[in-house]
């Protein structure tokens, strides 16, 4: 995730595609906190205005011409390094919010309700360009189906990074999240608590809310008690993740296998998505369905890596079969290693503490380069047309 530098002085703002009423709301909200324009510029003049004024913040109206507002995102971002884009709307629909996020808008505000969020964005806006090297990386670990090893991979990848990096695992499985149980932690506060007070959330508050495993992995956990039918707002998840990425060098999100607001929002803003599957037909089929969904959602293919967990020789499916079926290469395999995995989980420990020479530790350790080498473009092997044909026969 991108992070912004600290504020020094009043930020300069350009407003695009916002009507008179909207301009009034912006003025009411920001007052003297920013250098505001007298009026909004039309969408067609946005790039010119940003080029000539080089503002710190652009507030784009999403209610006038939604498509144009989305299209402008990357164009405006390309004009000024570190520019902060804010989407403004009267509509709070998740699909619109995700589209805005994908287009590079860091905030999505509905005024006047989100006034404090807009003020915060302007205060934190980038008055000195911040390089990509300063940004905490967000890695999503997504399971193709239940039980494929998503939590094990998230915790142990974080543990491999933790000796030299500040790492936090964020448990985003809002139904049955069990990262804390995996690491035998008793969290005093949870991601639910942070989402409830998200307007006050900062690095300090986050640091007081995480649990720390002896491996130095920090965990933002789900609460012990289970909740039912709770809709989780993508915006709040995004706000929490932003603070995590501001605080740690790596945020590893255990997304489980559920398709919900929390995980869709998280994958939309991730630097790297590890899609975990097992070498069996149902799991590979679901990996294919997930890849299709990601494609429909506009996820950058270059950020997705396929990880085959519980891998062993002599299975009916070969790695070549899996690659041919999915149309993407296998970026990593993790060996089937039941003994080490079960001892680790039941003892609340990481795999390395059980047996640092085990095959699973060797493989997860090798995955560190996937996280640290940044985002590599991977071309799919073979013909896309053939993808999955044989599995669906
Ligand atoms: N490489 C492996 N070798 C052997 N067993 C493994 C391996 N990886 C995971 N397991 C086992 O698979 C089971 C499920 O692991 P885990 O809970 O991490 O999966 P998950 O995808 O997070 O499941 P859920 O859908 O319940 O969240 C555990 O019993 C774990 O020990
Ligand atoms: Mg899990």
Tell me, using a 6 A CB cutoff, whether residue 340 lines ligand 1.
no
The arrangement of secondary structure in 11-123, i.e. its CATH architecture, is: 3-Layer(aba) Sandwich (3.40)
Tell me, using a 6 A CB cutoff, whether residue 245 lines ligand 1.
no
Tell me, using a 6 A CB cutoff, whether residue 309 lines ligand 1.
yes
- Tokens 């503002």 sit at which residue? 55
Q: Which ligand is nearest to the CA of 345?
A: 1
Query: CA 95 to CA 364: how far, in whole Å?
Result: 34
What is the DSSP code (8-state) at residue 390? T
End-to-end CA distance of the chain: 40
Q: Which of 341, 344, 360 to mutate to test the pocket of ligand 1 (most atoms within 8 A of CB)?
A: 341
Q: Which residues surround ligand 2, an ion (CB under 5 A)?
A: 150-151
Q: Which ligand is nearest to the CA of 148?
A: 1
Q: Please determine, for residue 186, whether its predicted confidence score (pLDDT) is greater than 60.
A: yes
Beta-carbon-side half-sphere exposure of residue 102 (alpha carbons within 13 Å): 22
Query: CA 43 to CA 297: how far, in whole Å?
Result: 24
User: What SS3 class is residue 220?
Assistant: strand
Q: Please determine, for residue 135, whether its predicted confidence score (pLDDT) is greater than 90.
A: no
> How do residues 226-275 score in pLDDT, each as one tens digit?
776 567 777 788 889 988 998 899 999 999 999 988 898 899 889 999 99
Residue minimizing CA distance to atom 7 of ligand 1: 310
- Residue 154 CA: nearest ligand 1 atom is 18
Q: Which of 152, 280, 310, 367 to mutate to test the pocket of ligand 1 (most atoms within 8 A of CB)?
A: 152
- Residue 344 CA: nearest ligand 1 atom is 31
Distance 277 CA to ligand 2 centre (A): 13
DSSP string, 93-151: -HHHHHHHHHTT-SEEE-TTTTHHHHHHHHHTS-SS---GGGSPEEEEEEESSTTSSHH
Out of 3-17, 153-167, 196-210, which region has the weakest mean confidence (pLDDT)? Answer: 3-17
Out of 14-23, 134-143, 230-239, 283-292, which region has the weakest mean confidence (pLDDT)? Answer: 230-239
Query: CA 362 to CA 153: how far, in whole Å?
Result: 12
Distance 346 CA to ligand 2 centre (A): 14
Nearest to 294 by CA among 266, 256, 330: 266
- CATH fold of the domain at 136-386: Rossmann fold (3.40.50)
Q: Please determine, for residue 392, whether its predicted confidence score (pLDDT) is greater than 70.
A: no
Query: CA 281 to CA 288: how far, in whole Å?
Result: 11
> How do residues 95-106 score in pLDDT, each as one tens digit?
899 999 889 999
Query: CA 200 to CA 3: how far, in whole Å?
Result: 18
Query: CA 262 to CA 256: how far, in whole Å?
Result: 11
Query: CA 161 to CA 89: how far, in whole Å?
Result: 39
Query: CA 145 to CA 258: how far, in whole Å?
Result: 8
Residue ranges, comma separated, of all CATH 3.40.50.2300 domains in the chain are: 11-123
Query: CA 384 to CA 370: how far, in whole Å?
Result: 24
Six-digit token string for 365: 């350790």
Residue ranges, comma separated, of all CATH 3.40.50.300 domains in the chain are: 136-386
Beta bridge partner(s), residue 107: 86
pLDDT-based confidence at residue 388 (cuts at 50, 70, 90): very low
Start-end of H helices in 277-331: 281-296, 319-326
Percent residues over pLDDT 90 in the chain: 59
Residue 385, class by beta-carbon neighbours within 10 Å (0-12 exposed, 13-18 middle, 19+ buried)? Answer: exposed
Contacts of 162 (CB under 8 A, 6+ apart): 215, 216, 217
Tell me, using a 6 A CB cutoff, whether residue 257 lines ligand 1.
yes
Six-digit token string for 152: 């094990």
Q: Please determine, for residue 324, whether its predicted confidence score (pLDDT) is greater than 90.
A: yes
Tell me, using a 6 A CB cutoff, whether residue 142 lines ligand 1.
no
Number of other CB atoms surrounding residue 52 within 10 Å: 10
């Amino acid at each position: 995730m991108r992070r912004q530098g600290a504020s020094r002085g009043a930020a300069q703002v350009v407003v695009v595609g916002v009507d008179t009423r909207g301009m009034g709301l912006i003025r009411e909200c920001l007052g003297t906190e920013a250098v505001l324009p007298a009026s909004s510029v039309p969408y067609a003049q946005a790039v010119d205005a940003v080029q000539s004024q080089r503002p710190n913040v652009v507030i784009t109206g999403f209610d006038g011409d939604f498509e144009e507002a989305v299209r402008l995102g990357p164009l405006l971002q390309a004009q000024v390094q570190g520019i902060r884009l804010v989407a403004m709307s009267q509509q709070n629909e998740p699909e619109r919010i995700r589209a805005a996020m994908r287009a590079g808008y860091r905030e999505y505000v509905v005024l006047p309700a989100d006034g404090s969020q807009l003020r915060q964005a302007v205060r934190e806006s980038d008055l000195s360009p911040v390089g990509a090297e300063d940004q905490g990386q967000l890695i999503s670990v997504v399971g193709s189906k239940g039980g494929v090893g998503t939590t094990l991979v998230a915790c142990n990848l974080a543990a491999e990074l933790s000796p030299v990096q500040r790492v936090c695992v964020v448990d985003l499985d809002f139904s049955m999240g069990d990262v804390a149980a995996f690491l035998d932690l008793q969290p005093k506060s949870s991601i639910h608590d942070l989402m409830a007070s998200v307007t006050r959330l900062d690095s300090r508050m986050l640091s007081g809310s995480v649990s720390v495993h002896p491996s130095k992995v920090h965990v933002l956990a789900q609460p012990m008690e289970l909740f039912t039918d709770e809709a989780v707002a993508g915006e709040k998840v995004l706000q929490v993740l932003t603070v995590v990425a501001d605080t740690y060098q790596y945020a590893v999100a255990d997304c489980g296998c559920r398709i919900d607001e929390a995980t869709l929002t998280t994958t939309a803003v991730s630097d790297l998505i590890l899609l975990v599957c097992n070498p069996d037909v149902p799991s590979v089929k679901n990996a294919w369905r997930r890849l299709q969904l990601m494609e429909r959602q506009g996820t950058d293919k270059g950020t997705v890596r396929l990880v085959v967990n519980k891998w062993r020789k002599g299975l009916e499916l070969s790695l070549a079969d899996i690659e041919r079926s999915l149309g993407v290469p296998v970026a990593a395999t993790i060996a089937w290693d039941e003994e080490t995995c079960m001892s680790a989980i039941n003892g609340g420990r990481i795999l390395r503490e059980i047996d640092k020479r085990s095959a699973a530790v060797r493989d997860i350790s090798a995955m560190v380069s996937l996280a640290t080498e940044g985002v590599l473009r991977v071309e799919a092997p073979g013909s896309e047309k053939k993808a999955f044909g044989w599995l669906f026969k």
